[in-house]
Structure 1
Amino acid sequence: MKILFIKEQRTKSGIEGSAKNVFYRCIELNKRNIPYLVLYNAKDEFYTLMLENNVNVKYVNFPSMSIKSIFKIREVKKRIQDIIEEEKIIHIHVHFPYLLSFLDKKWNIPITIHHHNAFNENKILEFFNIKEILYPKKVLKNLYNKLIGFDFSKADRCIAVSYAAKQTASFKYGMKSDKIDVVYNGITQINENNYKSLKKELGYNDSDILILSVGRVTKAKGVEDFCEVAKYFSNKTNYKFIFVGGYNDINYYNSIIEKYNKYVNFLGLRKDVFNLYKTSDIFLFLTHREACPNVIIEAMNFSLPTIGWDVVGVNELVKNDLNGLICKFGDIKSICDSLEKVINDKKLYDIYSKNSLLEAKKYTIEENTDKILAIFKSLEK
Structure 2
Amino acid sequence: MQFKEIIGQENIKQRLLTTVKENRVSHAQLFLGPEGSGSLALAVAYAQYISCENKSDYDSCGECSSCRKYQKLVHPDLHFSYPFFAKHKDNTALTFIDQWRKAFLHNPYLNLDEWRTYLEAENKQANINIAECHQIIRKLSFKPFESEYKILIMWLPEYLDKEGNTLLKIIEEPAQKTLFLLVAESQDDILNTILSRTQLVKIPPLKDADVQEYLEQHHQTEHAAEQIAYLSNGNLTAALHRINSDDSSYHDLFTRWLRLCFTNDGLKLIDFTEQLAKLGRENQKNFLQYGMCFIRECGMLISGAGSLVHLPEKELIVAQNMAAKVLTIAMVEVIADELDKAHYHVERNANPRILFLDVSLQLIKILKFKTFPQGTQHILY
Q: TM-score, normalised by structure 2?
A: 0.32
> Higher Cα Rg: structure 1 or 2?
2
- Higher-helix-fraction structure: 2
Higher relative contact order (CA 8 A, sep 6+): 2
Structure number with higher strand proportion: 1
Query: Taking structure 1 as the reference length, what is the TM-score of the superposition?
Result: 0.32
